[in-house]
Amino acid sequence: MNTSPMNPLKILLVDDEDGIRKVLKITLESAGYRILTAPDGETGLDIFVREAPDLVITDIKMPGIDGIELLKRIKHLNPETEVIMITGHGDMDLAVKSLQYEAADFITKPIDSLDLESAIQKAQDRMAISRNIKTYMEDLKILVEEKDKKLNESEKLATIGQTIAGMSHAIKNIAGGLKGSSFILEQGIEHENRQYLKQGWEMMKGNIDKITKLSLDLLNYAKTTRLNFQLENPNTPAREIVQLMTHKAKEKKINFKFLPSPEKKMALMDSDAIHNCLLNLVANAFDAFDESLDPEGQKQDGPRQVTLGITAQEKEIVYQVKDTGAGMSEPVAASLFKEFITTKGVNGTGFGLMTTKKIIEEHHGNIRFRTEPGKGSEFIIRIPLRTKG
């Protein structure tokens, strides 16, 4: 147990079975936790928003919003929340699915109190790691503020700190994914179940791809002053993205519009680096139509449009990437560009926007965004027009 009587861990318990709710509440309260209960997913979600519990334990099978759906919505509202799933006998398919949506763990019915305690303990350990990283980040921020004379040094430190924090988060996700996939593989071997073997293997491959991408992202992120500035037509890197992504747009039934600048202005930029930035933004815009980013299904019937526009103004080049996708929740929007954050589970690292910002700043430009949940987002990059040196 890891709770102080002054500040007990707040756990939300969601289960449609009255008996289980009562028994677990009593067991967990006597172990020192503060327990909130909900008989269904809808009520659970309301309580989650109102009470911000530290941890959620939910039954996987429930009428209405089921456990998986609840898990998805909670992760959308706050990706840091750890969720433990309760599964029945024969719910292995659902348990596997929940691991893919980043459940912290699952325990099987009939619930063994030792299993439960150990799952809570593990979730707490994970939360403590995230908290330590946060505190570390805050300390670094204070350091930066205090040392505004020596800003350069401190900024470097803060960047290193953020990179470590981002890496830990990404590695934590990958480790979770690998643990999930090896579990599924084990089940497949044990039960000689081809389906599990296939699922486990797919998930394992996804995680291997993710590690590969993470190391590339890190390399990119760590790259300093190696930009290769040349006079370029600002439309060029954008046109490459259109070629690269048109097929994907068709596949995802997205209306992808390209509005190049009619002006023939040349600008000093690293075309490959700008290509990467635009690719990150357009890939994010496409992802904004994925079901996992829109758990409430608000965008199901809306227009699916992504626009990549460029305007050459007198003193700057402006790139605009706009989508009519899911938009972002408040906490996600507030963290953007400040820390490595992803709401895409095993499919994201959170390096995309941080790298983009870094590259744009190295071009002496800036990046801003607007977003509205259920309506879409817009990212604007401004790069001052320098024609030499």
Residues that bind ligand ATP (CB under 6 A): 280, 284-285, 288, 293, 323, 325-328, 332, 336, 341-344, 348-353, 377
Query: Of these partners, Mg ion, ligand ATP, none, which one is at the site of residue 323 (CB under 5 to 8 Å by kind)?
Result: ligand ATP
Looking at beta carbons only, is 58 or 356 nearer to Mg ion? 356
Looking at beta carbons only, is 43 or 329 nearer to Mg ion? 329
Site residues (CB under 5 A) for Mg ion, limited to 329-368: 352
Which of 322, 251, 247 lies closest to 284, judged by CA?
322
Q: Tell me the closest approach of the beta carbon of residue 4 to ligand ATP, in angstroms.
A: 34
Q: Tell me the closest approach of the beta carbon of residue 148 to Mg ion, in angstroms.
A: 32
Size of the site for Mg ion (CB under 5 A): 2
Q: Tell me the closest approach of the beta carbon of residue 343 to Mg ion, in angstroms.
A: 10
Looking at beta carbons only, is 44 or 325 nearer to ligand ATP? 325
Q: Tell me the closest approach of the beta carbon of residue 275 to ligand ATP, in angstroms.
A: 15
Looking at beta carbons only, is 344 or 382 nearer to Mg ion? 344
Query: Of these partners, Mg ion, ligand ATP, none, which one is at the site of residue 377 (CB under 5 to 8 Å by kind)?
Result: ligand ATP
Site residues (CB under 5 A) for Mg ion, limited to 13-32: none
| Sign of the dihedral through C-alpha 124, 129, 130, 131 | positive
Place of tokens 């040094």: 153
Q: How far is Cα 75 from Cα 56, in angstroms, rounded to an integer?
A: 11
318 φ/ψ angles, rounded to the nearest 5 degrees: -120, 120
11 φ/ψ angles, rounded to the nearest 5 degrees: -115, 130
Structure tokens at 94: 């659902």
Looking at beta carbons only, is 27 or 347 nearer to Mg ion? 347
116 φ/ψ angles, rounded to the nearest 5 degrees: -65, -50
Q: How far is Cα 264 from Cα 177, in angstroms, rounded to an integer?
A: 48
Query: Of these partners, Mg ion, ligand ATP, none, which one is at the site of residue 133 (CB under 5 to 8 Å by kind)?
Result: none
Write the DSSP symbol of residue 63: S
Looking at beta carbons only, is 200 or 325 nearer to ligand ATP? 325
Helix (H, G, I), strand (E, B) or coil at 103: coil
Q: Tell me the closest approach of the beta carbon of residue 295 to ligand ATP, in angstroms.
A: 12
How large is the angle between the packed helices 151-190 and 194-222, nearest 10 degrees? 170
Q: How far is Cα 42 from Cα 48, in angstroms, rounded to an integer?
A: 10
Looking at beta carbons only, is 48 or 351 nearer to ligand ATP? 351
Query: Of these partners, ligand ATP, Mg ion, none, which one is at the site of residue 124 (CB under 5 to 8 Å by kind)?
Result: none
Q: What is the dihedral of CA 272, 284, 98, 164, to 10 degrees?
A: 50
Query: Of these partners, ligand ATP, Mg ion, none, which one is at the site of residue 325 (CB under 5 to 8 Å by kind)?
Result: ligand ATP
- Residue 324 binds Mg ion (CB under 5 A): no
Structure tokens at 341: 């954050």
Looking at beta carbons only, is 87 or 173 nearer to ligand ATP? 173
Point out which span in 190-198, 282-290, 307-315, 333-341 binds Mg ion (CB under 5 A).
282-290
Place of tokens 């941890």: 55
Structure tokens at 372: 């509205």
Q: DSSP for 327-341?
A: ---HHHHHHTTTS--
One residue of 98, 276, 284, 377 binding Mg ion per CB under 5 A: 284
H or E segment and range at residue 41: helix 41-51
Rule CB under 5 A: which residues touch Mg ion?
284, 352
